[in-house]
Chains A and B, each alone.
Chain A
């Protein structure tokens, strides 16, 4: 009988290096993505708005995102800046807004106007059941003489285009 020259019964050693490399790359990708996607945005249930502009921030702008939970806690990048249970008079939040405003480029609030104020907005994200007084407080601090942030964006959940016309309504 004629035997084949190749030996099928031999121990085949597979090179695992490329697979391990790719797997590690995937892990690093997911770790970084998870960190970036959730650090600024708290898990809040936003109210729906049919006419909201899609939120596509420019990463270079380093826009401030202020999260306000249903119980009035104010969080920025996971840092608790205000808690109604331990009322500090919004000292930490005021300092944060002051620092943000200081770094923002200044521009006249009206064409040809003499008032120079920060030209970038801040994004306020609040839970749909957050009493509006907490958001008003943030707005009040933004309007402080030393801060003067006057552009504000309120976050809302976008209504998918094929969701029908009445989907934007919340309560009424």
Chain B
């Protein structure tokens, strides 16, 4: 009688883990170095004209504080992150020689602090008055954020914007 052979068990395989661990660590270092955490950001709230749709309630005329922004001098373009001249390509920022004129009612100034104190006077006279920012062609986002920041600091909460003048001018032609 033949003796049946017991099936041989496979030997325990031991893979070399070193290359995998190397790759995994390389990946980890790559992600740690390239990750960009969300930078500290803020927001300035404003509103767009809400007279859309059908409104059955009678309109109450409301006086507004109108702030007109006009660029008097464009200023030198600088590198956005360093105090170096702009390379000629990509984004840029304007240097301190940029002049923006703020016209608030009949008064105009190129000094932001003066504009802020004028706004404060008007706000103290009527705290419910809405403010409208009217940026003329040539103004950039930073110009508007700068004055919007002051308007909010003074205390105005109902702030709206005037539409693009260049588009209207183009349509009239």
Contact = CB atoms under 8 A, between A and B. Distances in A.
A33 interface: yes
Given A152-B46, A154-B46, A171-B146, A128 B140 contact: yes
A49 B149 contact: yes
B28 A130 contact: no
Interface residues of B, number: 71
A12 interface: no
Given A26-B28, A157-B41, A51 B164 contact: no
Given A132-B135, A171-B75, A172-B100, A143 B49 contact: yes
A113 B58 CA distance: 11
At the interface, is chain A mostly helix, strand, loop or mixed? Answer: mixed
A139 B137 CA distance: 15
Contact of B141 (A27, A38, A135, A145): A135
A44 B145 CA distance: 15
A123 interface: yes
Interface in B39-56: 39-56
A128 B93 contact: yes
B161 interface: yes
Interface of B: 17, 20-21, 24-25, 27-28, 31-32, 34-57, 75, 77, 80-81, 90-96, 98-100, 110-112, 135, 137-146, 148-150, 152-153, 161, 163-164, 166-167
